[in-house]
Chains A and B, each alone.
Chain A
Amino acid sequence: MSTAAAPTIARRRLRHPVRRLTIVLGLVVAGGLAVMLPRLGQNPSTQVAADSPLLGKPAPPFSLREANGGATVSSATLRGHYSVVYFFATWCPVCVAEVPNLVSFYWHWHTRGVELVGIGYEDPGAAEAQFARQAGISWPLLVDPDEQVALRYGIFGIPETFVIGPSGTVLAKLVGAVGTGQLGAVVQRVMQGSTNVSVRSGAVVPTSPGKRAGGG
């Protein structure tokens, strides 16, 4: 074969239907891998971030008993106020560590009409009541016996925090620790008219230490 014919043959080979199809298939597979491979290593729960479908929707109703055996607190009693619903657990290290942040948040914002309630996740009432006494917590800690309220709020880890407007609309969601000033800043933003605020910070505890070994 003369050298002049080489490019023509190469071009002709490319025109061959099998080669063409193979190239197209190869490109399709390579493209698919390029899109999918980076996602493989990620834990799905870390992808959820704080984008709850509840943002902008009416807050799911609840009516739960206080851990200290006191009154029943319902979502209806929070109407007319900006309120913060904080899902936590006494066995969750992140939640325990940030009690001081919540105490200072509560003292600052409760006087400005903001309500705060904690809803325990996988936590017996007695443990919550003791926790409240020891940590000097003065906002209501509620018991969610079968985690049904957590399900209504689409909880996938704790702590998770929802800010609800006076009309009962979910305005903001925070995933992870609320931090020293973060929750206050979010409340300020929604009071100034922001909606659909979603914040993600720090670690989220996926499940209780005892259950983690058991099954999932």
Chain B
Amino acid sequence: MADQPTHHELRPGATKDRPYASKALWVALFAAVIGVGLWQGAQRPAPSTPAARMEQIASQLRCPVCIDESAAQANTAAARAIRADIATRLRSGQSERQIIGYMVSRYGRWILLSPPSSGLGLAVWLAPIGVTLGALAVVAIAWARAVRRFRAPAPRAADADVDLKGEQDLSLADRVRRVEEERAST
């Protein structure tokens, strides 16, 4: 911790192995944030009472006669019927999966509040992950390039030829003019 880089060390001519340490730090930080997020998301409190189990299952199902309301929240006859049916099925020993499967067999996949993890529904689940990773990649690449540009020493006249190698589409006159301009400025 004592030899953490300061702003001075980031200036041109600073030690060259430092960026790897800071890169590793950033990667570790991102990994930690994403890991904690995923872990938090995966943690579902295990319902202890039968009423809580019923509630948890009903909250995944649509109230059939409502707009965007779960069978756990709604106070309609249809939602009450679903809650009563879930409670009966739990008492008879059916699993959450079986009960949700039963509801789907009656109402279709429409009854599920979350989009299904297949077909078009899969895209809904994957799109945010893909866009987030893509955005992180854009930021990382832009950051890396900015750092590289910041660290790179100013081009010397002797390097001008090397610099121009990539610009072969420029006319010879343009290349000569650029070399001369750069010579004049240094």
Contacts and interface: CB of A to CB of B under 8 A. Distances in A.
Contact of A151 (B81, B127, B135): B81
Interface in B127-151: 127, 130-131, 134-135, 137-138, 141-142, 145
Interface stretch (B12-20, B38-46, B61-69, B154-162): B61-69
Interface string A176-216: 00000000000000000000000000000011100100111
Interface residues of B, number: 45
B78 A22 contact: no
B74 interface: yes
A120 to B, nearest CB: 11
Contacts of A5: 167, 169-170, 174
A101 B166 CA distance: 82
Contact of B74 (A22, A43, A152, A216): A216
B123 A32 contact: yes
A24 to B, nearest CB: 7
Interface in A135-161: 146-148, 150-157
A8 B75 contact: no
A29 interface: yes
A21 B174 contact: no
Interface in A25-73: 25, 28-29, 32, 35-36, 43-45, 47-48, 51-54, 57, 60
Interface in B83-120: 84-85, 104-108, 110-111, 120
Nearest to B120: A35
Given A8-B169, A28-B131, A122 B77 contact: yes
Contacts of B67: 43-45, 216
Please classify the interface of chain B as helix (H, G, I), strand (E, B), loop, or mixed, using the class held by over half of its residues.
helix
A44 B141 contact: no
Contacts of B145: 18
A53 B108 contact: yes
A203 to B, nearest CB: 14
B76 interface: yes
B75 A53 contact: no
A52 B108 contact: yes
Interface string B170-182: 1100100000000
Contacts of B169: 4-5, 8
Contacts of B120: 35
B79 interface: yes
B134 A17 contact: no
A121 B110 contact: no
Nearest to B174: A2
A199 to B, nearest CB: 16
Interface of B: 62-69, 73-82, 84-85, 104-108, 110-111, 120, 123-124, 127, 130-131, 134-135, 137-138, 141-142, 145, 167, 169-171, 174
Nearest 6 A/B pairs, CB to CB? A215-B75, A216-B74, A216-B66, A154-B106, A156-B64, A147-B81
8 contacts: A5-B174, A25-B134, A35-B123, A47-B110, A147-B80, A154-B106, A157-B64, A215-B75
Interface of A: 2, 4-5, 8, 17-18, 21-22, 24-25, 28-29, 32, 35-36, 43-45, 47-48, 51-54, 57, 60, 121-122, 146-148, 150-157, 206-208, 211, 214-216
Given A48-B107, A121-B77, 9 more contacts: A21-B137, A25-B134, A25-B138, A43-B67, A146-B80, A147-B77, A154-B108, A208-B77, A216-B73
